[in-house]
Each structure stands twice: as C-alpha cells, then as structure tokens.
Amino acid sequence: MNDAMQPSEATVQGAVRYEGADAQGIGLVVLDVPGQKVNTLSLALLPQFDATLNEALKDSALRALVVTSGKPNGFIAGADIKDLNQVQSAQDGVDISSGGHKAMERLASCGVPTVAAIHGDCLGGGLELALACTARVTSDSPKTKLALPEVQLGLLPGGGGTVRLPKLVGLANSLDMMLTGRTIRPKKALKMGLVDEIVPVNQLVSAARKLAVELADGKRPKRKKKTLQDRLLEDNALGRALVFREARKKVMKQTHGLYPAPLRILDVVAAGTYKAEADGFGALLMTAESHGLRHLFHCITTLKKFDGPDTELVQARPVEHVGMLGAGLMVSGIATVLADKGVTVRLKDLSLDAISKSIGYAKKVYRKGRRRYGQSGMTERLGRLSGGVDYSGFGQADVVIEAVLEKMDLKHQMIADIEKHTRREAIFATNTSALPITEIAAKAAHPERVIGMHFFSPVEKMPLVEVIVTDKTDPVVTKTISQLSRKMGKHVIVVRDCPGFYTTRVLAPYMIEAVYMMMEGYRIEDIDRAATEVGFPVGPITLMDEVGIDVGQKVLATMRKHYSDHMDFPPDHIQAFIGEGRLGKKTEKGFYLYEKGGRSKMDKGRKLVDESVYQHLPNGTQTRNADFEEMGERLVLSLVNEAVRCLEEGILLSAEAGDLGAVFGIGFPPFQGGPMRYVDRFGSRNITARLRDLELRFGKRFKPTAKLVEMGAHDLSFYGE
C-alpha cells in the first residue's frame, strides 16, 4: 500500500468497544467514532474492529455477538471518502477492497453467530458489514435506510457486497440495489429478505440479543423462499444470462455507456468472486467518471456548512408557518414538500378551484409514500395544508414564498400586500427564474427581508434550491432561508443577484446554442441526441417543451436585455411558435408530438418530432447531417464559459457552488463533476484554445472569459489538482 494510504490510528481511537457477554452469553460490539456525527468505515477503523473482535472472542462466556452503533441516529454511513481520494493507483484500490474482504470474512467466520442491530443509515460498507453477520434486525424508524450507493460515486461495493447480497436477496433484487444505489426502507428490506426482523427503536438491541440467543441455541434465521420465477431466472445458466442481458440493455439505455461503474458491476456480479470485486473496485477508482462523481460529493459536504455571506455569527429564525402566493404547479410542489417536513402552509390564489387542485397534488404525492408513513401520516401532512382567496392566515407566517407570473409589476404588488398582511419580521422569498431580486425588492418597505428562492420543477424530485441575495439582504434572512431549504431536503447554493442568477444565466447560452443549431438546419432530434450523448439527462429541445416554450422565450428576453455584450441572440423565431399556441407539453403541441394528457408520441422507442415546426425555421425541411461531437462540444462549452464568468464576476461565491448548481439544477453531466471540474479535467489551456477556435467559427458568444484566458496562460486549475 502507498505510504499516503497508511491509516492514522490516532484519528479513531476508542471508536470500537466490546461490552462483555451477559447472562445468556450475548456480547455487544459498539461502533462509535469519536468527534463524528456518523460512523464511517475508515482504513484506520478496520484494525480496531478486528482487535475488538479478537477481544470478544477471548470472552469464555461468549455465545453470540450483537454489532450495533453508539450513534443516536445512524449505524454506519459507508466508507470514508477521504481514504478513497488518496488513492494513487488501481492497486491501492485493490488493496483497500481486499482489506475490507478480510475484515468482513473475519466477522462472517468468527465462530459464533452475529446479529447486526441497525438504526438509521446503513449504507455502503456499513451494509456490507451487516451482510457479513449471520442475521440483521432493524428499527422501524423512517430514519432507517439500507443501500449500496457506490454506483453514485462511480464505484462498486468493495467489501464483499457483490458476492454476499445476491446470495441473500436474489440476483434481480441485488442488481437493482447496486445499479441504482436505491434506498431500501425496513418494510421492503424485510419483504425481500435483506433483514430478518423489524422492531421499535427502543427495542432494537434487546430484540437483536433475543435473536442472537436463538441462533446460539442452533435455530436458523427464517429466509424468504425463492419464487418459481426466481428459481427459473437465477438457478440456471440460461435464466441468469437473460437477467444480465436485460440489465445491460437497461443500463445502456439510461447511461448511453457514459458511466463505467454499472457495466463493471454486471461483470463482477456475474463472476461472483471477491477477486473480481477487488479488481473492479480498484479499476473504477481511477476512472475520470469516479473522480467527477466523488468531486460532487465533496461539493455537497462543503456547501452543507455554508449558509451565505456574513452568516457565521447570526442565528437562523425558526420557521413553522409559511404563506404561499399562487397555486400553480411550482407552488403545489413547494407546499407539498414543506408540509411533509412538518411546516404549516397557507396558500392564497385567485380561485378556490386552484387551491383545491394544489392540495390534490399534495395528496397524490403523499399517497405514493403512504406505505412508509401510513394513512395517519398522510392525513397529518394534508392537515398542514390550507388555503383561500384572501390573506387570512398569513398574519402568523414566518416566511412567504411567491411563485406568481414573471411580471415585475405583479411581484411589486405581492410585496406590498404581504407587508400589509403579515407580521413585521416576515421574510418575503420570491421564486423567479430570471427577474433580478434587487428590482423586485426596490419598492419594498423592507428590502432587507426580500430574498430569492429559486426552485426547480418538479419540486418534490429536484434536489436543488438556489438562494439569491442582494446587497441589502439581511444575513439572518439568508441563513433562515438556507436552513429552511435544507429542512426541505434540498442541496443549497447561495449566489449574488443578477438577471438570471447562476443557473438560468448559464443555461441560457446552452439553449441559445440549440436554437442556432435549429437555424443552421440540424434536425431537432439530433440536437437533443448531441446533448444526451455527452451526458445531459435530456436534450435542450425536449427541455423547452417540458418547461414551456413561452417561458423560455420570456427568459431569453430577459437575457437579451442584460447580456447582449457577450451573448449572441438569434432572431426570435420562437414568437411564431407561441402565436399558433405551440407552447410545449402543457398544450400538447411543441417541438415534439404529444398524445392527450401530455404523453409523447413514440415510434420504436423514440419520440416523434412535429415536422410542421420546420416551417418556422430558415431552412425549412432542408436539414443537414449531424456532427454529434462538434454539436456536443458547442453545447457544453457555451455553458462552461458562462459558469466561469459568473465566478469571475462574484455571482458565484465558490467553484463548488458552480459545480453543484449546474449538475443538480440544470443537468450538467454528473460524471464530469460540474463546469469548473470540467475545466480542471481537460486543462484551462486546452479549454481556452477550444473556445477560441469556436469563436473564430461562430462569433463572440464563444469568446473565452477573462478568467479562463488568465488561467489558460498559466495552466491553472480551480481545485489545484
């Protein structure tokens, strides 16, 4: 092992302890890493775990072991990412995995039955440790989650999970967990055979002890019997080949082959050996894709600690009641998430019918989660939602969030009304895609209490909130809104105000480039394909249809007004689309064809373009052959250049915020780690040269920003890699 990879024992002294056998011969191994909110399996912890296990096995009274956590709300949250980021070769990765195999095998073959008592997060290496036990008991708490999420870091389970999990829950279930990183809740875990028992959290250790006694007495844990279908698919070579073939097809459809980890997982599970797992783990650790995804994890953990400028010495206000203006799709999503997290929400709209539809939206979302929190939980959440056509109930609002039409006069009126009908210190948060918050706050009596809170649709699924502060925003307001967003389960980036803020502003040149490509005669489906082939989840034309062609046109009008100095804007052909009621999916008439209800018309798995749109474009139906590589580069670099400009201008407060916001807000390819990480990966000198070449061919919109030119001249990077 490389010297840099040597574990530091001092950092986790006392992290594992043994509590001697009780009257029934059941000992307790407790993991409790000091100074950390959660347990992680670091390289330094494994020798301690082994030493503690040896100590336990010397106990002559020991008949069985229970392994549990000393943390109040977590079992083990996985491997320590810091260890992985020190890896300098594939062999280092192989050594880490092999070391994990030895530790888990030591537990699995220690000579006495073992039971994992699980409450809270049991992820990655934590679940692999539990899999090495004879049996598993979980709490029934909603905080308890089991998963093998390594694929989300561009990796595969490296502690024996690819071998042990299929034996326990079957091939199909195990592939689903490993290929998606999907979280498994206790009830589902019991049903699929991943755990043996579910109990209330206050009975967890006693139930685990009881099960350990039964195992010590020679009883075997009851295992789920395989269904006929499982036996046909998993217990013979032809069936297994079919499962792997279908899984590979699904992976390729979803990832376009851009992510090596899922494909390697399939190969490793098919091999079924610890050596294959270790080799795969080591190889994946060195891929650029894993580096990019682990960089995203770094961004997430870094930004969790940042609530905005000048917020270090202030306290956030508690938020128990939120007023919401409007009852459209965006407001419905925000209200649904707030009520789910325990916040009382009062809606106001011009019609009771709109209020009813908004609450109906929440009911539909909650119904999907009813298995997790039951009918009573659904009723409780709906009870936090109410609404009306006036401001009754707004007097107690701690925060008011508006998501009305993108009209400045209307925003000003909303602020004036709120300042009349809410208590003095209420915060006004505006959800807008592009209008400057400074202008929205200009007529407010208290501009220091006005802030931007930019959500992404659908709110209950999209993981980001962009918080926008002006020069007058009170740091207490900033911190309150940042923490409210995190309470909603969102990642937060705090940015300074400008038209379009960060996410809309960097998306604009990407969308503009797609419009230019349409004008040049590229086919609509080829433009979308160029984007998905470089890693965007959907193409820009599909995105226009999803968001609304009219909405996109309004945003581009704002961008044209403020950024014509460095952005080129094509002639407004989109206005003709709007004139004929072609607004996208919501009107079932856009760039693509739609069935009733907004479903895309398909042919052989591909969406069908509405060929009549070409009449509005300069070349009509005379289209040109696609150059997917060049088209993809134009789309990516237009966005990257503007992202760097936002950092240069101070709109972004950190490179991490730029990377996280681009990936989770607008779908920048996750495996690239974000625009700044993209520059570091390919080199600032190379990126600058590529932009200059595109500038010569396509104009000023590709002129590299001054920061990139300076970085390129000295071959500098954002993260010093």
Choosing from 466, 513, 642, 656, the catalytic residue is 466
Element (H, E) at 357: helix 352-368
Structure tokens at 170: 């079957």
Structure tokens at 112: 């006495």
Distances (CA, A) of 693 to 567, 629, 702: 17, 15, 9
Structure tokens at 676: 């700044």
Q: Is 707 in contact with 649 (CB distance < 8 Å)?
A: no
Report the Cα 302 to chain-centroid distance in Å: 15
Q: Is 466 a catalytic residue?
A: yes
Structure tokens at 256: 């376009």
Amino acid at 509: P
Report the Cα 332 to chain-centroid distance in Å: 21
Give the whole-angstrom CA distance, residue 415 versus residue 221: 62
Give the whole-angstrom CA distance, residue 690 versus residue 629: 13
Structure tokens at 355: 């209020």
Helix (H, G, I), strand (E, B) or coil at 26: strand
Give the whole-angstrom CA distance, residue 567 versus residue 565: 6
The residue with tokens 């689309």 is 577
Give the whole-angstrom CA distance, residue 671 versus residue 289: 5
Give the whole-angstrom CA distance, residue 690 versus residue 694: 6
Q: Is 222 in contact with 168 (CB distance < 8 Å)?
A: no
Q: Is 155 in contact with 284 (CB distance < 8 Å)?
A: yes
Q: Is 269 in contact with 151 (CB distance < 8 Å)?
A: no
Q: Is 484 in contact with 492 (CB distance < 8 Å)?
A: no
Closest by CA to 470, choosing from 481, 485, 459, is 481
Structure tokens at 698: 């396509």
Give the whole-angstrom CA distance, residue 37 versus residue 305: 14
Q: Is 43 in contact with 7 (CB distance < 8 Å)?
A: yes
The residue with tokens 């191994």 is 29
The residue with tokens 């899999």 is 131
Helix (H, G, I), strand (E, B) or coil at 178: helix
Q: Is 222 in contact with 162 (CB distance < 8 Å)?
A: no
**Buried b or exposed e, range 610-628, using 16+ CB within 10 angstroms:** beebbebbeeeeebeebeb
Cite the beta strand spans of 101-223 per DSSP E.
114-118, 121-123, 135-139, 145-147, 197-199
CB count, 10 Å around CB of 230? 17
207 CB-near residues (< 8 Å, 6+ apart): 117, 137, 197, 199
Closest by CA to 40, choosing from 87, 7, 18, 66, is 7
Tell me the CB-side half-sphere exposure of residue 147, using CA atoms within 13 A: 18
Q: Dihedral angle at the C-alpha atoms of 177, 182, 183, 185, nearest 10 degrees?
A: -60
Distances (CA, A) of 273 to 96, 159, 267, 661: 16, 12, 11, 39
Q: Is 712 exposed, middle or buried (0-12, 13-18, 19+ CB in 10 A)?
A: buried
Cα Dmax for the chain: 86
Known catalytic residues? 466
